[in-house]
Amino acid sequence: MATTIHILNGPNLNLLGQREPGIYGAESLEDIQKTCDTVSGKLGVSIEFRQSNHEGELVDWIQQADQASAGIIINAGAFTHTSIALHDAIRAGSVPVIELHLSNTHAREDFRHKSYISPVAQGVIMGFGGYGYQLAIRAMCTLLESTDSL
- 92-141 per-position pLDDT tens digit: 999 999 999 998 888 787 877 899 999 999 999 999 999 999 999 999 99
Is pLDDT at 13 greater than 70 in this prediction?
A: yes
Is pLDDT at 1 greater than 50 in this prediction?
A: no
Provide the 3-class DSSP secondary structure of residue 51: strand
52 in Cβ contact with 61 (< 8 Å): yes
The residues annotated as belonging to the active site are 24, 101
Each domain of the chain, given as residue ranges in start order, spans 3-148
Residue 1: closest CA among 38, 45, 41, 37? 45
59 in Cβ contact with 85 (< 8 Å): yes
The values of phi and psi at residue 95, to 5°, are: -95, 155
Predicted TM-score (pTM) above 0.85: yes
Contacts of 20 (CB under 8 A, 6+ apart): none
User: Under the phi-then-psi rule, with left for phi > 0, alpha for psi from -120 to 50, and beta for the rest, what region is 77?
Assistant: left
The per-residue pLDDT for 148 is 62
Is pLDDT at 31 greater than 70 in this prediction?
A: yes
CATH superfamily of 3-148: Dehydroquinase, class II (3.40.50.9100)
